[in-house]
Amino acid sequence: MRRHAPDALLHTDAVQAFCWTDIAHITRNADLVSVSAHKFGGPKGVGALVARSSATVHAVQLGGGQERERRSGTQNVAGIVAMTVAARLAAAERDASIERLGALRDRLLDGLLASVPDIVETAAVYVDGVSDRTQRAAGIAHVCIAGVESEALLFLLERAEVFASAASSCASGAMEPSHVLAATGLDPELAKGSLRLSLGWSTTAAEIDHALTVIPGAVAQLRRFNV
């Protein structure tokens, strides 16, 4: 990008990255990097924009000139402090958290593959015919389930307090099968049963077990209606 558009500013949305990788290498190469506290255990409504001194950022609101005259208004000091503490803890515990969540994700996927017929694990990297889940983010489990449609499945899961999605977080509410799944060559009918389950810092083993209790029953219920 620097070669083709040397004057362009590069902004990186690192909101999802903070818990999974050291973003220092991102901040070295980007002009602007944004993070959000609630993704790593901090309070909602607090975030940070890391900007190079050479990056021109125009004021989004006028007033007292706070935030280096970029965002006027009284700062949320308590929120800023809480975010700082959460960020330090998340960085210090990152490796242990990835290991813990990876184990929970594997428990979830293995349980679904064992209990739900005609289910496909997607985003898998295969080495010698075996799925190598170390090559993917620890906090995402994605499957496609034959014979059900995502929106109907999500309705039943939500009633049982299992909150999931049919698509990526940036495509929340989308009803059409994912264009990404289509590009991988996945059967369009199978893609209609797309299910994404996300794990985070607060996810517990009990919640995984609850999902493994609820999801097979919901799938079976929908398949009975589809016969």
**Is 170 an active-site residue?**
yes
Q: How many CB atoms lie within 10 A of CB 46?
A: 19
Dihedral, 110, 112, 116, 117 alpha carbons, nearest 10: -40
d(CA 38, CA 87): 10
Amino acid occupying residue 216: P
Which residue is catalytic, options 24, 77, 127, 170? 170
Nearest to 148 by CA among 169, 119, 124: 119
Helix or strand (DSSP H, E) at 145: strand 140-145
* Token pair of 25 as six digits: 């290498």
* Token pair of 9 as six digits: 């500013």
Reported for 110-115, long-range contacts at CB under 8 A and 24+ positions apart, including other chains, are 111/208, 111/212, 112/141, 112/143, 112/212, 112/215, 112/216, 113/143, 115/212, 115/215, 115/216
Catalytic residues: 170
